[in-house]
Amino acid sequence: MSVALIAGDGVLPVEIARRLSTLQSPGLIFSLCRDPSPLNPYAGKIIPLKSPNIGRAIREMKSYGADKVIMAGNIPKRLIYCLPLIFDPLSLRVLRRALHDDHSLLGAIVGAFEEHGIQVMPYWQILPEFIAIPGKLSSRSPTKHEIDDMNYGREILRVTLPCSFGQSLCVADGSVVAIEAMEGTDKMILRAGEISGRGVVVKMMKPGQDMRYDLPTVGTMTLENMHKSGLTCLAVEAGKTLILKPDEFFALADEYNIAVWGIKNAEEIQS
């Protein structure tokens, strides 16, 4: 197995690079990070990119002998919408033939790699122990009030997710306080804190979404922002959400008295 990594910002790409280094010789990493230094111990070669460059990535992977790739980490979406002149010709062709929502753009990028013989791997296969399971995940169970808000938030997401927005939202007292758009979950949480100072965060995956990329992810920063914002409960979709550094995550959830629950899309949460 020779797997390359396209790494954006955040903890997830570093965790994937670390795990890959235990499964294969130090591999090829394309860095779209502001600071790629945490990736250095796990890379045979790091190629910094100022923007997504599909053409160069394919050429470098073929030269390096990598026939698989994992895409992970945060990449500012404004690059795709605001700076078309910085893309290479292949990337521009991919972007022009895709609909301008996150999932269709990522799907078009996956298609471009596969057209050139590069298999795109789901990162949950590298970190299976990070996948959320159903039911109670933290020491504290959600209250009846929090469960009511979780169920309401889940019903709202069932409507918004097929429209390719709203991977997460905040509900307080049966009202939607904030819903995630292009800004990402962390900024949505902080915005909810400014508006209500309380509530429940619900995070789910778009029905039918390709699990090879853009899997919903939470980590200690999610909890830090919830604590700062006064939000007391986090519900994530079981089997479709990555929990980064779970030992640290659940220790912090207990410290902040935040209830964490793994929800099944088809089932109402019961108290």
**pLDDT, tens only, 134-168:** 999 999 999 999 999 999 999 999 999 988 788 99
**Model confidence over 49-67: pLDDT tens digits?**
877 788 889 999 999 999 9
Residue 101 pLDDT level (bands cut at 50, 70, 90): low
Mean pLDDT, range 6-26, rounded to an integer: 91
DSSP string, 100-144: SSHHHHHHHHHHHHHHTT-EEPPGGGT-GGGB--SEE-SSSPPPH
The whole-number pLDDT of residue 123 equals: 85
Residue 78: pLDDT over 90: no
Task: Report the SS3 class of residue 187.
Answer: helix
The whole-number pLDDT of residue 118 equals: 94
Element (H, E) at 5: strand 3-7
Residue 95 pLDDT level (bands cut at 50, 70, 90): low
The upper half-sphere exposure of residue 12, i.e. CA atoms within 13 Å in the direction of its Cβ, equals: 30
**Model confidence over 30-42: pLDDT tens digits?**
999 889 999 999 9
Mean pLDDT, range 65-91, rounded to an integer: 70
Beta bridge partners of 43: 27
Domain membership of residue 233 as a residue range: 128-263
Cα–Cα distance for residue pair 61/250, rounded to 1 Å: 37
205 and 163 within one domain: yes
* β-pair type (43-48, 27-31): parallel
Phi-psi category of 117—alpha, beta or left, where left has phi over 0 and alpha has psi -120 to 50?
Answer: left
The whole-number pLDDT of residue 103 equals: 58
**Model confidence over 240-258: pLDDT tens digits?**
999 999 999 999 999 999 9
Taking a C-beta distance cutoff of 8 angstroms, is the pair 22, 3 a contact?
no
Cα–Cα distance for residue pair 113/111, rounded to 1 Å: 5
109 and 40 within one domain: yes
113 and 20 within one domain: yes
Residue 85: pLDDT over 50: no
Taking a C-beta distance cutoff of 8 angstroms, is the pair 113, 120 a contact?
yes
Beta bridge partners of 237: 263
Residue 97: pLDDT over 90: no
37 and 52 within one domain: yes
Provide the whole-model pTM: 0.84
87 and 136 within one domain: no
% of the chain residues with pLDDT over 90:
63
Tell whether 46 is covered by a domain.
yes
The whole-number pLDDT of residue 86 equals: 46
Tell whether 245 is covered by a domain.
yes
141 and 34 within one domain: no
Tell whether 268 is covered by a domain.
no
* β-pair type (199-203, 168-172): antiparallel
The whole-number pLDDT of residue 183 equals: 86
**Model confidence over 197-218: pLDDT tens digits?**
999 999 999 887 778 777 899 9
Residue 59's nearest CA partner among 120, 122, 116, 119 is: 116
Q: Which amino acid is residue 205, in one-letter code?
A: M
Number of domains composing the chain:
2
% of the chain residues with pLDDT over 70:
86
Q: Domain ends where: 93, 125, 157?
A: 125
Taking a C-beta distance cutoff of 8 angstroms, is the pair 203, 260 a contact?
no
CA 249 to chain centre: 16
Residue 265 pLDDT level (bands cut at 50, 70, 90): low
Element (H, E) at 48: strand 43-48
Question: Using CB atoms within 10 A of its CB, is residue 202 exposed (0-12), middle (13-18) or buried (19+)?
Answer: buried
Tell whether 13 is covered by a domain.
yes
Mean pLDDT, range 102-119, rounded to an integer: 80
